[in-house]
Amino acid sequence: MHAFLTELDCLRPEDTVCCALSGGADSVCLLRCLLALSQEWKITLSAVHINHHLRGAESDRDAAFCRELCEALAVPLQILDVDAAQYARQMHCSEELAARTCRYEAFSQVQADWIATAHTASDNAETLVHRLIRGAGLHGLCAIPPRNGRFLRPLLTVTREQVEQYLAQLHQDFVTDSTNLTDQYTRNRIRHQIMPRMKELNPSVERTVSYT
């Protein structure tokens, strides 16, 4: 991540960086990495957790985990509540789309120079496949950009496997969104069914997609 951020050449001393923290492995890894780099890069780090209130007690569990983690690491945390289910009903859209829309609207309340999100090389590859299936043109196949406005994706060259290995080395726990374990959503089917087949043909496919 250090090399990737150096290549992007966007962070400056005294910049404020807010880590979007879900409590999942990717975002916990991002928080720990940014914290490790914060003194060297002279950045001020904070975190934000968006509670979508879509999974009942599990959503509250995630918020509590993020609060306890940030307290242990002495990282200021802001928790923002959104009603994604109500938005989905009002806009007649899926809860998945509603959650994403509400999340980015909530991010607009965050006071920081940068908002770091934990998109990985694995997410990038899955997004490319998803867009290909939906019939995207060449522009759409560019997948996830490393920078977009004030949004920054420092883990975009790191795979999910590397994330879990890093957290294991730190003996750092995380929470798991139970909806990620099912094939209810298209992205999950891509993750569980298509990506393993692609990695049989090219074990480095996730990293290859994210080369900049």
**pLDDT tens sequence across 107-130:** 999 999 999 999 999 988 888 887
pLDDT at 198 over 90: no
Give the relative orientation of helices 121-134 and 160-170 as an angle to the nearest 10 degrees.
150
Nearest Cα to 175, choosing from 89, 69, 19? Answer: 69
Q: What's the distance, Cα to Cα, between the start and end of the chain in Å?
A: 13
**What angle is formed at CA 35 by the lines to CA 32 and CA 38, rounded to 5 degrees?**
155
> Mind listing the pLDDT tens digit for each residue in 133-162?
777 665 555 668 899 999 999 999 999 999
% of the chain beyond a pLDDT of 70: 93
State the average pLDDT for the chain.
89
pLDDT at 44 over 80: yes
The pLDDT, as a whole number, for residue 137 is: 60
| Superfamily name and number for 2-209 | HUPs (3.40.50.620)
Average pLDDT score over residue span 189-194: 83
Task: Please tell me the distance from the alpha carbon of residue 176 to that of residue 190, in angstroms, as a whole number.
Answer: 18
> pLDDT higher for 210 or 191?
191
pLDDT at 170 over 60: yes
pLDDT at 181 over 70: no
> Mind listing the pLDDT tens digit for each residue in 82-100?
999 999 999 999 888 999 9
Whether pTM > 0.85 for this model: the answer is: yes
Average pLDDT score over residue span 64-78: 98
Residue 11's pLDDT band (cuts 50, 70, 90): very high
Structure tokens at 202: 């090219």
pLDDT at 191 over 70: yes
- Which residue ranges make up each domain of the chain? 2-209
The pLDDT, as a whole number, for residue 154 is: 96
Helices first, then strands: H and E counts in the chain: 10, 6
Sheet strands (E) in the chain:
16-20, 44-51, 77-81, 114-116, 147-148, 151-152
